[in-house]
Structure 1
Amino acid sequence: MLCPEVWNFSPPKHSSTFSTGDWKTSDDIKSVAKKRYFNHLVSVVLPDTVIVPQNLIESLSNDCDYYRVSNFPITAFINSLFLGKFIRSGQFTALTIGTRVDCDDCIAVTPTGHLVLSLLKQSYEELGLDGKPSAFCRMKKRATRYLVSIDLKTINPESKKYERIHSALSNFQSEHVFDMILAWDPPLGQEKICPSSIAAFFEKLNINITQCSPKFTQRRVNNIKVPIVKWKNDDVGCEPEDVLEWLGAFSLGVDLGEEEENESIFSMEHTVMCGQTAHLKGKGFYTPSRIIKFLENLEVYIANRKFPWAAVFVAGFEDAPVSPGLREHRRYGAFGDNSYTFLLHPEGKYIISTLEASQKLLKH
């Protein structure tokens, strides 16, 4: 039998924030979504909703196709035509899959145009490009992981720097292969350009690319008591933290103890009865632009409704090498998916909750 102290682990460290405001007069909500590049899951709860508008459903399903490439040649990211058509025009997003950010090599391209390589020491030395030790390595001179960041928007294909990067990536990809998912969003005002243009481009380079669609589901729950949100300190209602717990339980289909004889730990003190509550869930690869498009459609919908609130929960990929704001990301010993939740009221009030992995070093 193991000593109990062996399993006396402290909870993973994370950073949790709450903020409030008016979504009709500020861009805070869109700003939060814009900084989180790699989104895997979107969960939406709409109380007192019988029919969900089709544009909300499509903006989480049909309009969110992405692509998967096995053994992706990373030199394609610095192809001169690719840089001009998809990096400097619109927003391109890519991420390795099947890799673990705490023990494998990981690569990502952010919508801001940064190619980020998070590499183990041996891979970093094989690459031969300038980088920096991981912020999560205590002894920088003995670092086991390194980060290399290349700004694709400013690189000049006719420069010696470009030639050096191209040569390094060419040699590197001969020994290292990656499976990637990717998506491209056309520039604002040019939505008539098909996002599938990125697939056609890679096919011309003889790269085998597969189209993927999010896994979208929806369900309805009848005659359920939903919590009344305490938007301000002097309001009567449930604390935002308790509402978030209730939302998590509802989204997972937990028994919320609606019957008096079956009261659960998720029963709220202040509630309102709703005839039907809709739950939408999409799993796939959602870029910031697509999240923002969904939020814009949602704001139009709820502005003309008279229900208690609408809730949107978004979770990222645990093994993305980049955290919000181009910071380095780590999964081991931390909350990994960098999630956030929006609570929106038809009158304009909002509550934003963010949960991010800690940037502090682990204690030994």
Structure 2
Amino acid sequence: MLCPEVWNFPPPKVMESKREHQDIESVQNTVNKNCFYKSLIITCPDEIQPPSSIQGMVSEDTDYYKLSECSLTEFVEPVFIESFVKNGTIYCLTADRNCIIQNCAAITPDGVLTLHILDYIYQTLGFEGTKRPHNYYEINIDLKTIKHKQKINSGLSKLELFDFYIIWKPNNEDICPSSIAKYFSDRDINVTVHSLSIKNISPDITEVPAIKDVDSDELAEWIGMLAQEAELDQKEAYISSYSQPESINALKTTRTSVYIVKGFIPSLLISSLCEELNEYIKSREMDNFWASISLQSDENSLWQWNKSSPKMFQAHDSSCTIFFTQQGHIEYSIGQLKYS
């Protein structure tokens, strides 16, 4: 017979928040607080396809690159810093890593290289860092003002080779973003190009719940059901059955576009999409009309829950749904640490 204490696991730590009457600047600040996302869902009621402007933003110049077996010393090379860090915006994150058991690294748009290093390895590098949970240290290297390059290069060379996802947005529009891929390829690093995965769903519905009648968490769940192409009108009443939210002021339309995008998605793209959705809402005259964007974080990336908490690598699961309305926008976020 098993000891009862074996199954006495503590519940996961869950963070949930809701902010109403937000303007577009507040929404963009929320999105840009973190850099790395893996999926988004754009929901546009009374549409078969999302607006063409949104489709164009997602499909044009959104390729990202994967560097295979790349040394961290590549990122402190003077040519890399001068050509890319100081002349554009970089989003770079270790690929396919588990930050609970593995070293990780990232370059954020401010030009800082952040290392997430196991305690016993950190002790061998000669760096100054900050103690983090689960026997890790965090090391921050500002690439724009780097000093003691030889010492830094020596420490980074002791670490293993990594795979990275990387995107570069040049300051000069005449320069191609793929220049960064050519740079690494010329340095004999294997580079592959990847495109965002895009899918549009037009589910069968009878009406669209109104945001004024339905709680944000219920509406976010309804969007999730549409994205999973689940059956909303279940004929059998099981304990785990899903019931669509009741809405007195529901939008009388049988059309909804659910636009699903997956891949390595930088906050810069999402911020631009939010601005476009903000303008799109103003053009619609249907009563109680809303549109939304739902964001899913990269689980093994630098993450900051709020302004008072530090941004650090932590195994987590976080989603945020932003509802755009003409009366003000609503942010609903929920997430949990996988290991607290």
> TM-score normalized by structure 2?
0.89
Answering whether residue 104 of structure 2 is matched by residue 110 of structure 1, we say no
1:177-256 equivalences in 2 (<5 Å): 177-187=161-171, 190-230=172-212, 237-256=213-232
Unaligned runs of 5+ in 2: none
Determine the C-alpha separation between the residues in 2 that align with 1:186 and 1:192.
9
Shift of 1:356: 4.1
Determine the C-alpha separation between the residues in 1 that align with 2:122 and 2:237.
61
Deviations 1:34-54 (A, max 9, x none): 111111001111111134323
Determine the C-alpha separation between the residues in 1 that align with 2:82 and 2:40.
31
Are residues 337 and 197 of structure 1, via their aligned partners in 2, closer, same or farther at CA, if it must alter by over 3 Å? farther
> Which of 150, 155, 158 does residue 168 from structure 1 map onto?
155
Shift of 1:320: 1.3
Answering whether residue 277 of structure 2 is matched by residue 320 of structure 1, we say no
Tell me the percent identity: 29
> Which of 294, 298, 319 does residue 339 from structure 1 map onto?
319
Deviations 1:105-131 (A, max 9, x none): 111111121111111123212322111
Are residues 99 and 38 of structure 1, via their aligned partners in 2, closer, same or farther at CA, if it must alter by over 3 Å? same
Structure 2 match to 1:56: 54
1:244-283 equivalences in 2 (<5 Å): 244-257=220-233, 265-270=242-247, 271-283=250-262
SS at match of 2:254: strand
RMSD: 2.5
**Kept in 1: contact 2:234–2:242 (CA 8 A):** no
Aligned residues: 332
Shift of 1:213: 0.6
Determine the C-alpha separation between the residues in 1 that align with 2:118 and 2:236.
56
Structure 1 match to 2:137: 146
Q: 62-71 vs 277-286, which deviates more? A: 62-71
Are residues 226 and 151 of structure 1, via their aligned partners in 2, closer, same or farther at CA, if it must alter by over 3 Å? same
Determine the C-alpha separation between the residues in 1 that align with 2:311 and 2:211.
33
Q: 44-53 vs 262-271, which deviates more? A: 262-271
**Kept in 2: contact 1:92–1:111 (CA 8 A):** yes
Are residues 304 and 264 of structure 1, via their aligned partners in 2, closer, same or farther at CA, if it must alter by over 3 Å? farther
Are residues 66 and 169 of structure 1, via their aligned partners in 2, closer, same or farther at CA, if it must alter by over 3 Å? same
Shift of 1:260: 11
Structure 2 match to 1:43: 41
Shift of 1:258: 7.5
**Kept in 1: contact 2:68–2:162 (CA 8 A):** yes
SS at match of 1:81: helix
Shift of 1:316: 1.2
Task: In structure 1, give the amino acid aligned to 2:164.
Answer: M
Are residues 294 and 281 of structure 1, via their aligned partners in 2, closer, same or farther at CA, if it must alter by over 3 Å? same
Answering whether residue 6 of structure 2 is matched by residue 6 of structure 1, we say yes
Are residues 163 and 294 of structure 1, via their aligned partners in 2, closer, same or farther at CA, if it must alter by over 3 Å? same
Deviations 1:194-245 (A, max 9, x none): 2112112222322221111111111112343221112xxxxxx112222122
Q: 34-43 vs 7-16, which deviates more? A: 7-16
Task: In structure 2, give the amino acid aligned to 1:218.
Answer: N
Unaligned runs of 5+ in 1: 138-143, 231-236
Task: In structure 2, give the amino acid aligned to 1:74.
Answer: L
Are residues 258 and 348 of structure 1, via their aligned partners in 2, closer, same or farther at CA, if it must alter by over 3 Å? farther
**Kept in 1: contact 2:203–2:226 (CA 8 A):** no
**Kept in 1: contact 2:320–2:333 (CA 8 A):** yes
Determine the C-alpha separation between the residues in 1 that align with 2:312 and 2:43.
31
Shift of 1:75: 1.1
Structure 2 match to 1:19: 19
Determine the C-alpha separation between the residues in 1 that align with 2:318 and 2:237.
37
**Kept in 2: contact 1:214–1:283 (CA 8 A):** yes
Determine the C-alpha separation between the residues in 2 that align with 1:58 and 1:9.
47
**Kept in 2: contact 1:70–1:179 (CA 8 A):** yes
Deviations 1:58-101 (A, max 9, x none): 32234311000110121111111211222122210111112101
**Kept in 2: contact 1:22–1:348 (CA 8 A):** no
SS at match of 2:231: coil
> TM-score normalized by structure 1?
0.83
